[in-house]
Structure 1
Amino acid sequence: MKLHAIEAGNFKLDGGAMFGVVPKVLWNKTNPADANNQIDLAARCLLIEDGNRLILIDTGMGNKQSDKFFGFYNMWGNFDLEHSLKQKGFSKNDITDVFLTHLHFDHCGGAVSWNNSRTGYETTFKNATYWSNENHWNWATEPNAREKASFLSENILPIQESGQLKFIETTNNPLINHSELNFGVLFVDGHTEKQMIPHIKYQDKTIVFCADLLPTAGHIPLPYVMGYDTRPLLTLSEKDQFLKEAALNNYYLFLEHDAHNHIITVKETEKGIRLNEVFSVNDIL
C-alpha cells in the first residue's frame, strides 16, 4: 500500500464560523485571521494505492462553480485536483473508487464536472465506484435549511444518475471495517448525518483522515467546534472520545482542512488532549 496527499485547492472561510462560540482572541492564536476575518484552509485529499485499487478520499470543491461562487471563498495558491493527481503519476481515469466522507461542496465538488459542451454534468472519474451511505445521501438530497447551501444538487445527483454510486452499510457499531476498501470507517453525526472517517492501517501506523471531525490542529480543544456543525454538543462528545483514542493509540491524524499542518499526533495532558507532534506529508506518507 502507498498513500499520497492530493492537494485539491486552498480557500478561506470566516474564522468565527470555523470556531463557533470560541472568542477570536483565542482561536486567532492558532489560526490567524486576515483583514476580512478569514482563515487559511486547505482541501487536502488522500489517495490510497492498494493492489489494483486506487482510492481517492474526498475531491475538494472542483472547478465548475461560477466566479461569483468561488469569490466567497477567496481561493488562493496553485493547487488543483487533476494537476495534483498528475504530479503523482495518475489520471482521472485511473481512479477505481471515490470515497466521499460527506457531501458538503468543499468535499465532493470535484467528483462531478461539466460535460464537454458545458450543457450538463458528468462524473469526473468515469471508471470509479463512488461511495457514500444511505443515511447521509438522504440527508443531503433532502437538506435542512441550515445545510442547504452546502449540499449542491449538481455535486450530488449526477453521481446517482451515472449508476456509479454505492452505499456503505451503517451499523450500530460506529466503527466498521470495510473489507472491500480495506480500511475502517468511523461514523459520526455531530457535523452532519453519518459523516465517514477513514482509519487506514499503513505500515506500522494508523492514519485517520479527519475530514470535518477535526478540521485543523486549532480545533483540538473540545469547545472549539465549528458553527457549521448541526449538532455541536454531539460533536463535542464524539471528538472527546475520538481524541482520547487517538492519543492512546498514537493515531496519525491527516488534516484535510489545515493549510499549514498536514499530519499531527495528540497527547493526554492535565488540560485534556493537546497537540503532540506535527509532520509534513513527506515525513509520514
Structure 2
Amino acid sequence: MATIFPLSEGHFTIGRDKQFIPFDLENDILNERPTGSLLVEVQPFLVITDKDVIVLDTGLGFKNSKGTLMIHENLYARGYGPGDVTKVLLSHLHKDHAGCMTYKDEQGNNVPTFPDADYYIYSPEANFAIKTGTPSYYPQDIEPIMTTDRVKWLEGETGMIDGYISFRHSGGHCPEHIVYIIDDGTDKVFFGGDEAPQLKQMKMKYVAKYDYDGKRAMMLREEYAEEGRREGWQFLFYHDVKTPVAKL
C-alpha cells in the first residue's frame, strides 16, 4: 500500500507576469492582486512504497524563517530526511515544479536537494527548458543537476521505471510534459502535474489560457478522469488549495 504526504510550500498567487507571490488566506485579499491572478498551492508529494521513498516534483525552493528548505522541513515533520528519498520524479521543469532540484549549501555550492535520490527527467523537456528559459523556466535551477550522475533520462512516448512506475508523454500544459502512474499492486497513484492540477478542473470542461495546448489539456483531463474512475486512481493535485489527494 502506498502512503502519501503532501509537502506544501504554501499558498501563492500567480498573474500574467508568472511570478509566484505568497498569499496569506487569513489576511490577504485576492481582488487586491493583479487582475487575472490565480490562487494556487505549490505542493510536491511524498509517496512511500515498499520499494521507494519518492518525491514528485520539487517546488519553488522556498525556505522557512530559519533558512531551512520548506521541502526538507516537511520531510522531517513526516519522519523522513532528504537522504531517505530514493527517487525524484519530475512531470516538467517549470520553475514552480523544478525550482528545488538543487540548492545552495552553506558554502554556496549547488548540491542536490535529495543527495541519494535518482532524478527522473524527460530528456526532451530538459532540452526545451534550457532552450526556452525565463520566465517559465529557470535554467540556473535546472542545469546544476544535469552535471551530476543522479539523473536518469526518460525517453519515448511511454516507459516504465523499475517495473511499477509508468510514464507517458502528454504535452498539453507544455510541449514535453509527462505524467506518472505508481502501481504497487495495491494502489494506483496518478500524478498529472499541471495537466491535472486541481480537483475542480477534473470536473469542469474548459480551455485554460495558461496551457501550451489548451484543447489537448482539456481532452487529457477528461481522459484521466475517466480512466481514473474506472481504475480507482488516487489523484495527486499539485496546485489544489483544499484537496491535495482524492479519488474521483
Does TM, scored on the shorter chain, surpass 0.5?
Answer: yes
Q: Rate the CA distance shift 1:246–1:33 in 2: closer, same or farther, 3 A.
A: farther
How far apart are residue 204 of structure 1 and its match? 4.1
How far apart are residue 39 of structure 1 and its match? 4.0
1:103-162 alpha-carbon deviations (Å, 9 max, x no partner): 1111111211013223x422211111111011111111111xxx7312101210001112
Within a 5 Å distance, the mapping from 1:11-160 to structure 2 comes to: 11-14=11-14, 33-36=30-33, 38-63=37-62, 80-118=70-108, 120-143=109-132, 148-160=134-146
Q: Which sections of structure 2, spanning at least 5 residues, go unmatched?
A: 19-28, 64-68
How far apart are residue 34 of structure 1 and its match? 4.1
1:52-99 alpha-carbon deviations (Å, 9 max, x no partner): 5322111111037xxxxxxxxxxxxxx921111001111111212211
The answer as to whether partners of 1:56 and 1:98 remain within 8 angstroms in 2 is yes
* Aligned amino acid, residue 222 of structure 1: K
1:74 corresponds in structure 2 to none
Within a 5 Å distance, the mapping from 1:101-250 to structure 2 comes to: 101-118=91-108, 120-143=109-132, 148-171=134-157, 174=158, 176=159, 178-180=160-162, 182-201=164-183, 204-220=186-202, 221-225=204-208, 227-250=209-232
How far apart are residue 179 of structure 1 and its match? 3.8
How far apart are residue 203 of structure 1 and its match? 6.3
2:3 corresponds in structure 1 to 3
Distance in 1 separating the partners of 2:163 and 2:78: 21
Q: Rate the CA distance shift 1:44–1:202 in 2: closer, same or farther, 3 A.
A: farther
Report the TM-score when normalising by structure 1: 0.72
Aligned length: 230
The answer as to whether partners of 1:8 and 1:61 remain within 8 angstroms in 2 is no
> Identity over the aligned pairs, expressed in percent?
19
How far apart are residue 210 of structure 1 and its match? 2.4
Distance in 2 separating the partners of 1:16 and 1:246: 32
Q: Rate the CA distance shift 1:136–1:127 in 2: closer, same or farther, 3 A.
A: same
Distance in 2 separating the partners of 1:213 and 1:153: 22
Q: CA RMSD in A?
A: 2.6
Distance in 2 separating the partners of 1:217 and 1:136: 25
SS in 1 for 2:194: coil
* Aligned amino acid, residue 263 of structure 1: V
Q: Which has the larger radius of gyration?
A: 1
Q: Which sections of structure 1, spanning at least 5 residues, go unmatched?
A: 19-31, 65-78, 267-285
1:180-237 alpha-carbon deviations (Å, 9 max, x no partner): 1622223210111232212123564422122101211232322142x22112122122
The answer as to whether partners of 2:44 and 2:58 remain within 8 angstroms in 1 is yes
Q: Rate the CA distance shift 1:217–1:4 in 2: closer, same or farther, 3 A.
A: closer
Distance in 1 separating the partners of 2:164 and 2:87: 12
How far apart are residue 165 of structure 1 and its match? 1.2
Q: Rate the CA distance shift 1:89–1:265 in 2: closer, same or farther, 3 A.
A: closer
Distance in 2 separating the partners of 1:86 and 1:7: 11
Report the TM-score when normalising by structure 2: 0.81
Distance in 1 separating the partners of 2:162 and 2:156: 15
The answer as to whether partners of 2:90 and 2:120 remain within 8 angstroms in 1 is yes
* Aligned amino acid, residue 153 of structure 1: P
The answer as to whether partners of 2:47 and 2:53 remain within 8 angstroms in 1 is yes
1:22 corresponds in structure 2 to none
